[in-house]
Amino acid sequence: MKLIDRRAFLNSVIVPLAARIATNPFPCLPEAMGQESRPTVHFPAAPRERLAVASYPFREFILGKSDSAAAPRSKMALKDFPAHVVSKFAISKIEPWSEHFLSLESFYLEDLRSAAGKAGVSFANIAADGDRSLYSDEAEQRERASHFYKQWIDVAAALGSPSVRTNISPVHNAKPDARNLAERLKPIAEYAASRRVVVHLENDNPVSEDPFVLVEVLDRVNSPWLRALPDFGNSLGALPAEEAYRGLDQMFARSYGISHVKNLITSQTGTTVPVDMERAFALAAKHNYKGYFSMEWDTEGDVYEGTSKLIATTLKDISQKG
């Protein structure tokens, strides 16, 4: 048997180890643990502290990227929204929408975080919508979608938000492939773990974000950093009621930090469908959901009055059910 030269042996072991340590000098830290680590957000227990207000319903009043230079001066900048929410609703959490971010530069994010801090407001979640899809057969499109995910994970980290909701755009209304999507989301979950930010998938688009498809995707990825965002009403606009609530049940079973509260939804045929709020909150309680409830009034009428009603109903229900 040929003996191994001691110097050669040391070089074969020590040199690669030194290189590994140089790349990652703290292998015991969560950033190196990837999916072995878990999010540890300490959610508040007081009912009002569990509530957030989404900026999406207030898009008529907040400057957005699509607004022209002639946009009404009365429209508020996103950095003014935190104090506005405190003034109007006495709520200290917000969920800003990506359309309302006029920049992703560090100075802009720092100003937004500072304004929120001065108002005594923190970020429950970031809602980010993009038009590139991980479902695409084109590698360039998938790469752009992946970049979009990572970019908004970084935004959430910069703002101190525990999570981000990123959408999954459809591709020519094609039937989604849960297996392929799960494989493409695994690197996103690993990146989210490195930034200590949870990524949520919402039952929104009736094709690409069908609740049962998302459940299969989440189970395939099986990462604590990729979770469900149960929206009370979205699935009711596309599915029979019993199927919609079954989907909501399964979404809450895989939820973590954010849920969208609605009491009405407009169906694909244009009819208004009421949400069984008591049933929805009971599903949250069934699965011991401890995250935030974000108010997302999404029908015609006064958004301020509608949001106030959602807040009152939510406070009543979670006070009773926990």
pLDDT confidence of residue 72: 65
Per residue in 173-229, pLDDT (tens digit) is 678 899 999 999 999 999 999 999 999 999 999 999 999 999 999 999 999 999 999
Does the pLDDT of residue 26 top 80, yes or no? no
Asked whether residue 79 carries a pLDDT value surpassing 50, the answer given is yes
Spatial contact of 78 and 126, defined as CB atoms under 8 Å apart: no
Q: What is the pLDDT of residue 74?
A: 80
Q: Where are the alpha helices (DSSP H) in 222-322?
A: 241-252, 277-286, 303-321
Q: What is the DSSP secondary structure assignment for residue 295, as one 8-state letter?
A: E
Confidence (pLDDT) at 85 = 98
Can you say how many angstroms the Cα of residue 5 is from the centroid of all Cα atoms in its chain? Answer: 55
Domains located in the chain, CATH noted: 45-67+77-321 (3.20.20.150)
The answer to whether residue 301 scores a pLDDT higher than 50 is yes
pLDDT, the chain, mean: 89
3 state DSSP class of 298: coil
Q: Which residues on adjacent β-strands are paired with residue 251?
A: none
Dist. CA 150–CA 154, nearest whole Å: 6
d(CA 68, CA 117): 29
Is the model more confident about 288 or about 266?
Answer: 288
pLDDT band at 274 (very low <50, low <70, confident <90, very high): very high
Q: How many CB atoms lie within 10 A of CB 53?
A: 29
pLDDT of residue 59: 94
Tell whether the model's pLDDT for residue 95 goes beyond 70: yes
* pTM score: 0.87
pLDDT of residue 322: 63
Sign of the torsion formed by the C-alpha atoms of 123, 252, 246 and 226 = positive
